[in-house]
Amino acid sequence: MQTTNDTDLDAGYSGLAFAREWPTVLFIGVLTIALGVAVLVWPSQTLLVLSILLGIQLLLFGLFRLITAFSSDTESPGLAAFVGIIGMIAGIIVLRNPIETVAVLATILGVVWIITGSIDVIEALANKREGSRLLLALMGLLSVAAGVIVVSWPAPTLTVLAWIAGLYLVIFGLFISANAFSLRHMADT
């Protein structure tokens, strides 16, 4: 039978092991920024390219959320897994029918951003640990705002959707990258 101290040590070790994976988190952040920049640089390119890029981003985001659900220091593993599965399903739907899902793409993207942002804000408010609460809350509010904008315009033009998605991806990628450096600091201590 483990004592409280043994359990705390196991949880701390697991968090430290996750913190050592900061290069992977940084890679995901840089990849998200690169996808956002590509969308911003070529806003008038075909909807197929935009749909594929967003489908890949949703799939990666969902996979990352699903992986973090299995971390022992995740506050709400069920919610993280749920969000991960929703993100992956949305990514697969977009990748299967990239041209036919223009209106659906906007709705899926907006709903996913609203749900994930809301969960991030709730998690930031519920998390009693200091650290990245403010960063998580800001990231969540940004996600909700981007989602509301996209859902409010169900049939946006390609350029509007590209700019909203591109800006969101760049800012979200910056937050992910900042989180990676927080994890790096945690691994160094």
Give tens-digit pLDDT for 64-75.
888 888 877 777
For the segment 173-189, the average pLDDT, to the nearest whole number, is 84
**pLDDT at position 135 over 50:** yes
**pLDDT at position 160 over 60:** yes
Long-range contacts of 182-189 (CB under 8 A, 24+ apart): 182/131, 182/132, 182/135, 183/18, 183/19, 183/21, 183/22, 183/25, 184/19, 184/22, 184/26, 186/15, 186/16, 186/19, 187/16, 187/19, 187/20, 187/22
pTM of the model: 0.45
